[in-house]
A and B are shown apart, each in its own frame.
Chain A
């Protein structure tokens, strides 16, 4: 079945450590996104990518980095510069056409600081 796979489900980061969250999709979607969700809050956009080898900053990109070397993969690195990384991270994808379809979401990664 087609879908988006995020791993790991839970991740713990030590002080000063960089960690990478994986996101893979087999939906053949061009666009991929990373959102951050804090408790009781909505989704805030970290980065998004419309095509391979290209990506743009969202509203809260500081302390994060991404790459888009393959159409199906869009990993997110939470760097040590992100001082408050504890949150739920959601990866999503969509078809890029004149008519935006909808966002397909992965099951998320909960990142916590040790």
Chain B
């Protein structure tokens, strides 16, 4: 079974600074999808960014970007110009290319200091 590992239970960043959240995964598949989801205190899950494994170019969405290292099975999230509203739990997730279950990491709690 695929596993997703987030080794940083909690992180802190100063407002306007940059922070990187780490994620590694284990799979034997060559094609798959990776996701970062944000869960604010409301507990509503929000998709932040999505990466297709067959694409070499790293995905970006405004202040959010990823560093996808397929050989190393690493998928980190970089948040630039951090804002107070970025404070949340962040979950890394994996899904196979054909229909498959979505696997989630244990999450990283991000604190943003004013």
Contact = CB atoms under 8 A, between A and B. Distances in A.
Contacts of B43: 88, 107-108
A47 to B, nearest CB: 11
Interface in A39-71: 40-45, 48, 50, 58
Nearest to B39: A37
Interface in B69-114: 91, 93, 95-107, 109
B100 A100 contact: yes
29 contacts: A33-B101, A33-B102, A35-B104, A40-B107, A40-B109, A42-B4, A42-B6, A42-B91, A42-B107, A43-B91, A45-B102, A45-B103, A50-B99, A58-B101, A90-B45, A92-B102, A94-B102, A96-B99, A99-B52, A100-B33, A100-B96, A100-B97, A100-B99, A102-B50, A103-B35, A103-B45, A103-B47, A105-B45, A107-B42
Contacts of B104: 35, 42-44
A103 B102 contact: yes
A87 to B, nearest CB: 12
Interface string B35-70: 101000011110100101000000000000000000
Interface of B: 4, 6, 9, 33, 35, 37, 42-45, 47, 50, 52, 91, 93, 95-107, 109
Contacts of A33: 101-102
B26 to A, nearest CB: 15
Contacts of A41: 106-107
A31 interface: yes
Nearest to A95: B99
A90 B100 CA distance: 18
Contacts of A35: 104
Given A100-B96, A108-B44, A42 B106 contact: yes
